[in-house]
């Protein structure tokens, strides 16, 4: 099964479980926890597609559970999904759904017994798959607007929530890179990186040969600024294989047909807006409107674009993660990232990658996917983290907002690929207050302000996130009572 097939099976039941949790949170104490757990168990069991047993074997169960899944949906949709009925839902909290429980619990027990009787699944693996969820976080692109993500990761940690997989685009990839380096949250490297940031250390304005990226006026030198903070215990640069939390980074691969101009045109694109010592002054922001045209030109031939997901295959697992984040953050015609150092391993890896995809350049991931919830979901359903019951939190720092109307044209250009990912997210979280996208190297105090904004906005959603990820009790066998 591919990601879309998993989603087709899981999403209707997933939405019903979310409704159960929301109603329970809205009326705490009205319904016993054991009844809420029973509803969630029934829904979670019905959406099983593949379960990994104790021997590491993946057992497909979606087809076997299809009749049972239909029965559960038919019984609970009228009580939990307003779209399933033409009349308004009764304002009875969860009681309508609970009245269906005796029949559904009995049916679920029978279906569970049949799965276990087949002999390929053990009880412990099955119950763990049903009753536990994995927090997966996708962080989208948006330049300086994404510094608030550090606040989100901090808040999740304070609530005791541990991401099991991260996916990022552009600034989202950089923020996720710092979070993924250690399983136990450690904000110190992020804060150290923030103190090191300056235009002089991050960007340089001079001609340099282009090997793998699209030339631009500004050269991005991430390694000089923060490379020393992103090394493993042996001092080697972190790769996707050495990350303690699985990480995906999305970049855009472009074929020869996708480039509408010669490389020199892209290199000179912003020459009048950036000069040595005077980089992208705010008074010149209006000139960035031309960037919309560049994005639109690239998207005119979608068949010439490739979604390259670093960390999702054996080849890119050994890629330098900071290089992947650099390519994902390289805005065509504005910011150029490339392999300037003598690193034969990365050069060979990229040569193989380019041959596989038939591409000539790598650039900004937001062109093909500015909110990588789908790649994150797909990686979980492919078995990357063992269990396949993710709760995907999709954070978007570039959503259209009245606070940033000047960016609306570019936001609208990437919005279609964002919408294509939303169905794979369990919770979509657009950042309302955020730094300007052009504020790529903010002051240290501004970063902390952005973090506080995001923490304040995410805090009201934390009870729902904690309830969804926190797990629930196993449905006991009939002999032990319901």
Q: Is residue 400 part of a domain?
A: yes
pLDDT band at 209 (very low <50, low <70, confident <90, very high): confident
pLDDT band at 89, cuts 50/70/90?
low
Higher pLDDT, 45 or 200: 45
User: From CA 150, how far away is CA 188, in angstroms rounded?
Assistant: 11
In eight-state DSSP terms, residue 393 is: E
In the predicted model, what is the mean pLDDT of residues 310-324?
Answer: 98
**115 pLDDT above the threshold of 90:** yes
Bridge pairing between strands 305-310 and 247-254? antiparallel
Q: What is the mean pLDDT of residues 241-251?
A: 98
Reported in sequence order, the residue ranges of 339-381 that DSSP labels E, i.e. its strands, are 361-363
Q: Are residues 110 and 138 in the same domain?
A: no
Q: Is residue 164 part of a domain?
A: yes
299 or 83, greater pLDDT: 299
Residues 126 and 157 in one domain: no
- Residue 478 domain-assigned (yes or no): no
Model confidence at 282, pLDDT cuts 50, 70, 90, reads very low
pLDDT tens-digit profile of 446-462?
Answer: 999 999 999 999 999 99
Residues 195 and 53 in one domain: no
Q: Round to whole Å and give the CA distance between 5 and 469.
A: 23
3-state secondary structure of 424: coil
Are residues 167 and 80 part of one domain? no
What's 292's domain CATH number? 3.40.1090
- Average pLDDT value for the chain: 91
- 288 versus 408: which is more confidently predicted? 408
Least confident stretch, 56-65, 155-164, 181-190, 264-273: 264-273
Distance of alpha carbon 175 from alpha carbon 166, whole angstroms: 10
Region 286-290: mean pLDDT is 66
Task: Give how far Cα 466 sits from Cα of 59, 339, 461, Å.
Answer: 29, 41, 9
> Are both 65 and 146 inside the same structural domain?
no
Per-residue confidence (pLDDT) for residue 279, from 0 to 100: 45
Structure-derived torsion over alpha carbons of residues 212, 279, 176, 244, reported in degrees to the nearest 10: 70
Residue 324: domain span: 134-465
Residue 477 lies in a domain: no
Question: Do 356 and 213 belong together in one domain?
Answer: yes
Indicate the range of 114-128, 260-274, 361-375, 414-428 predicted with least confidence.
260-274
> Which of 131, 162, 179 is where one domain is finished?
131
Across residues 419-439, what is the average pLDDT?
Answer: 96
User: How far is the C-alpha of 149 from the C-alpha of 452, rounded, in Å?
Assistant: 10
Same domain, 126 and 142: no
User: Which one of 93, 108, 131 terminates a domain?
Assistant: 131
On whether residue 143 sits in a domain, the answer given is: yes
Q: Tell me: do 326 and 456 sit in the same domain.
A: yes
Query: Are the C-beta atoms of residues 159 and 466 closer than 8 Å to each other?
Result: yes
Residue 175, pLDDT > 80, answer yes
| Domains contained in the chain, number | 2
**Same domain for 60 and 168:** no
Question: pTM of the full predicted structure?
Answer: 0.94
Contact 168, 372 (CB under 8 A): yes
* Judgement on whether residues 250 and 364 belong to the same structural domain of the protein: yes
User: Is the Cβ–Cβ distance between 155 and 125 less than 8 Å?
Assistant: no
Higher pLDDT, 407 or 156: 156
Structural domain contains residue 99: yes
Query: pLDDT tens digits for 222-238?
Result: 888 888 889 998 999 99
Distance CA 208, CA 226 (A): 21
Residues 125 and 186 in one domain: no
Instruction: Decide if 116 is inside a domain.
Output: yes
Share of the chain above pLDDT 90, in %: 72
Neighbours of 63 (CB within 10 A): 10
Residues 151-172 pLDDT 10s: 999 999 999 999 999 999 999 9
User: Is the domain of 148 the same as that of 40?
Assistant: no
Long-range contacts of 60-66 (CB under 8 A, 24+ apart): 60/1, 61/115, 61/121, 62/1, 62/9, 64/114, 64/115, 65/111, 65/115
113 in a domain, yes or no?
yes
Q: What is the pLDDT of residue 277?
A: 43
Give the end of a domain, one of 114, 131, 148: 131
Note whether 401 and 408 are within 8 A (CB).
no
């Amino acid at each position: 099964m591919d990601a879309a097939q998993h989603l087709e099976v899981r999403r209707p039941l997933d939405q019903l479980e979310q409704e159960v949790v929301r109603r329970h949170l809205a009326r705490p104490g009205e319904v016993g926890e054991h009844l809420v757990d029973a509803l969630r168990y029934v829904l979670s069991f019905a959406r099983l597609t593949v379960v990994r047993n104790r021997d590491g074997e993946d057992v497909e169960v979606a087809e076997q559970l299809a009749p049972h899944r239909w029965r559960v949906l038919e019984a609970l949709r009228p009580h939990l999904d307003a779209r399933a009925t033409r009349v308004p839902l009764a304002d009875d909290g969860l009681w309508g759904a609970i009245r269906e429980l005796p029949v559904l619990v009995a049916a679920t027990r029978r279906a569970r017994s049949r799965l276990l009787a087949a002999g390929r699944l053990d009880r412990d693996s099955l119950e763990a798959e049903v009753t536990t969820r994995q927090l997966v976080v996708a962080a989208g692109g948006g330049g300086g607007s994404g510094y608030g993500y550090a606040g989100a990761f901090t808040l999740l940690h304070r609530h005791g929530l541990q991401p099991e997989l991260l996916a990022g685009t552009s600034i989202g990839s950089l923020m996720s890179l710092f979070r993924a380096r250690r399983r136990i949250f450690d904000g110190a490297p992020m804060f150290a990186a923030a103190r090191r940031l300056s235009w002089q250390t991050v960007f340089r304005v001079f001609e340099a040969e282009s090997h793998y990226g699209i030339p631009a006026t500004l050269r991005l030198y991430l390694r000089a600024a923060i490379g020393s903070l992103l090394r493993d215990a042996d001092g080697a640069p972190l790769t996707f294989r050495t990350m303690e939390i699985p990480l995906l980074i999305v970049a855009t691969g472009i074929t020869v047909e996708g480039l509408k101009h010669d490389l020199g045109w892209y290199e000179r694109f912003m020459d009048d807006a950036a000069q040595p010592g005077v980089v992208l002054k705010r008074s010149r922001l209006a000139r960035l409107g031309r960037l919309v045209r560049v994005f639109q030109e690239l998207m005119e031939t979608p068949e010439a674009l490739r979604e390259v997901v670093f960390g999702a295959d054996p080849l890119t697992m050994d890629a330098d993660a900071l290089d992947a984040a650099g390519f994902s953050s390289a805005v065509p015609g504005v910011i150029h990232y490339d392999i300037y150092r003598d690193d034969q391993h990365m050069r060979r890896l990229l040569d193989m990658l380019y041959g596989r995809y038939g591409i000539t350049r790598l650039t900004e991931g937001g062109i093909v996917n500015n909110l990588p919830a789908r790649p994150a979901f797909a990686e979980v359903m492919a078995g990357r983290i063992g269990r396949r019951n993710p709760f995907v939190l999709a954070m978007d720092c570039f959503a259209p907002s009245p606070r940033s109307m000047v960016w609306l044209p570019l936001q609208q250009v990437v919005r279609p690929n964002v919408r294509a990912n939303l169905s794979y997210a369990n919770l979509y979280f657009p950042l309302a207050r955020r730094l300007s996208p052009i504020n790529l190297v903010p002051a240290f105090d501004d970063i902390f302000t952005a973090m506080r904004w995001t923490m304040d906005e995410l805090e009201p959603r934390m009870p729902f996130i904690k309830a969804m990820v926190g797990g629930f009790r196993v449905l006991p066998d009939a002999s032990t009572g319901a």
